[in-house]
Structure 1
Amino acid sequence: MSEELNPILCERQGAVGVLTINRPKTLNALDTPTLLALEAALTELERDDGVRVILITGAGDKAFVAGGDIADLNSRQGLRHYEEFAEVIHRVFRRFEVSDKPTIGAINGWALGGGTELLLTLDIRLVAEEARLGLPEITLGLFPGAGGSQRLIRQVPLCRAKELMFTGAQITAAQAVELGLCNRAVPRAQLMQEAMALAGQIAQKSPLTLKLLKRAVRDGAEMPLGAALAHEQAMIGLVLDSRDAHEGCSAFLEKRPAQFTGA
């Protein structure tokens, strides 16, 4: 099926749901139909109890997401942009950020503009050694407006975030790892293999505990420490009410692999 009819490929490989942005002719640029298809695919994977980890990558060997559709942006005025494209991209990116299922990015190539902004919403990021990241919007007289200006300053030192946004410079995969934007760089030929292996490792853990851990980390990051610790205390209390917690402890004592069910 052509990329115009199917801009997002969604498949399940065991307990891992794989989303592929399928617009290689446009370097996987994000437009409104693609974002809506991405949201629908994410919803499908979130509702599938058999999917424990969600992995996202780009089609082709050049780009993860090379950004937005510049011609489309140039055709818009502020209010129309705010009510249409900006509303959609903020909602979809936030859906990834708050998903209860762990998310992994396999960044197979250029992640520029919206590509870096999408990357910033994912839990774990593996990046191909040849990839380039950046927020070049300033060179167009714009600035990162899909969450990038706010998420970046919360994930890297402020002075480094400002340099990236003020200059629009691209950085290498190695620099992205050094900066803390990505977990590690791997050869492109091994990227999906390593990402799937990592996803499989996480998928073996309790999905209920992962969900509550994600909530503790996500919500706690926006709280004062005292409130965050109280929130953590509540979350671990909920975990100890689960069968998975007692299955894990029993398996350890009985020297056998745990069989987590998410209950």
Structure 2
Amino acid sequence: MADLVKIDREGSIAVITIDRPATLNALDMKTLDALATAVSDCDRDPEVKVVVFTGAGDRAFVAGGDIADLNSRQGLPHYLELAEKLHTVFRAIELLDKPTIAAINGWALGGGTELLLAIDLRIAAQSARFGLPEITLGLFPGAGGTQRLIRQVPLCKAKELMFMGSRLTAADAERIGLINKVVADADLMTEVMSMARAIAEKSPLVLKLLKRTLNDGADMPLGAALRHEQAMIGLVLDSADAHEGCTAFLEKRPAQFRGT
């Protein structure tokens, strides 16, 4: 399965590439298994501080799922197998304690858009296209799209995308807040790696606790979320990194974070 998903390293940054360019990096069971392994490997590696996701080639990030495979399935086997795997892998990415960045280098349709919805930060090439076209096949998004999209963009826009099955340009996606930034195709990885390096300089412990605070609080009532934040920032102040950061500021020098 290693040939379906590969991991490259630049210092403390891991780049996970879905490597099926002949199928526009479509997701099937074997690819999802390989992706799950890659994510787990990055999670367990203490040297990895930021994880970047992209697709092989210059045409697609992830063009979606395998339609022929979907057409061969019935409801209960799909629920127990492919849908279960999709939800498990995407949730693992969403809850990864390390910041994640999507480098969207082309088509991100169906499962491709659903994948990026589970990734923290998203930078797209100008040529990238987005959408949830499942309705045109007599289906609807079933890999987290119906729930994550309505939490990330205006509800009326989310419904329009799912009811119409329409596609968005990169500029459209940025305008509604689906992605962070659009750059020229040739500048995509340069921009993504620059962002990843800037994040990797921060305290990995504080990034971990910050990401947990954001993920947990998003599903809490405001009062409970604020109490949770209060507790978590107290936990951060027990870290050496918090005091190193404050001391470095007072001493007018760069902080040396150690993740403790």
Q: TM-score range by the shorter chain?
A: over 0.9
Greater CA deviation, 217-226 or 170-179?
Answer: 217-226
Q: Which residue in the other structure is 1:116 paired with?
A: 113
Q: Which residue in the other structure is 2:7 paired with?
A: 10
Aligned equivalent of 2:254, options 232, 252, 257? 257
User: For 1:26-51, what per-residue CA distance to the aligned partner results, in whole angstroms no more than 9, with x for missing partners?
Assistant: 00000000001001001111111111
Q: Within 5 Å, which residues of 2 pair with 1:66-105?
A: 66-105=63-102
Code of the residue aligned with 1:25 in structure 2: it is: A
- TM-score with structure 2 length normalisation? 0.99
Equivalent pair of 2:16/2:54 in contact (CA under 8 Å): yes
Work out the percentage of aligned pairs sharing the same amino acid.
68
How far apart in 2 are the matches of 1:60 and 1:127? Answer: 14
Q: Which residue in the other structure is 1:182 paired with?
A: 179
- TM-score with structure 1 length normalisation? 0.98
Aligned equivalent of 1:144, options 134, 141, 146? 141
Equivalent pair of 2:2/2:34 in contact (CA under 8 Å): no
The reply on whether 1:58 has 2:31 as its aligned counterpart is no
Offset of residue 85 of structure 1: 0.4
The reply on whether 1:207 has 2:195 as its aligned counterpart is no
Q: Which residue in the other structure is 2:43 paired with?
A: 46
Offset of residue 188 of structure 1: 1.0
How far apart in 2 are the matches of 1:190 and 1:107? Answer: 12
Q: Which residue in the other structure is 1:155 paired with?
A: 152
Offset of residue 63 of structure 1: 0.2
Q: Which residue in the other structure is 1:234 paired with?
A: 231
The reply on whether 1:19 has 2:16 as its aligned counterpart is yes
Offset of residue 129 of structure 1: 0.4
Offset of residue 12 of structure 1: 1.5
User: For 1:79-109, what per-residue CA distance to the aligned partner results, in whole angstroms no more than 9, with x for missing partners?
Assistant: 1101110000000000011111000000000
Q: Which residue in the other structure is 1:198 paired with?
A: 195
Task: List alignment gaps of at least 5 residues for structure 1.
Answer: none
Code of the residue aligned with 1:12 in structure 2: it is: R
Task: List alignment gaps of at least 5 residues for structure 2.
Answer: none
Cα RMSD over matched residues? 0.7
How far apart in 2 are the matches of 1:44 and 1:260? Answer: 23
Code of the residue aligned with 2:51 in structure 1: it is: I
How far apart in 1 are the matches of 2:52 and 2:127? Answer: 20
How far apart in 2 are the matches of 1:207 and 1:242? Answer: 11
Q: Structure 1 segments of 4 or more deviating over 4 A?
A: none
The reply on whether 1:217 has 2:217 as its aligned counterpart is no
How far apart in 2 are the matches of 1:151 and 1:42? Answer: 20
The reply on whether 1:28 has 2:12 as its aligned counterpart is no
How far apart in 2 are the matches of 1:108 and 1:187? Answer: 10
Q: Which residue in the other structure is 1:167 paired with?
A: 164
Offset of residue 5 of structure 1: 5.5
Offset of residue 7 of structure 1: 0.5
Q: Which residue in the other structure is 2:132 paired with?
A: 135
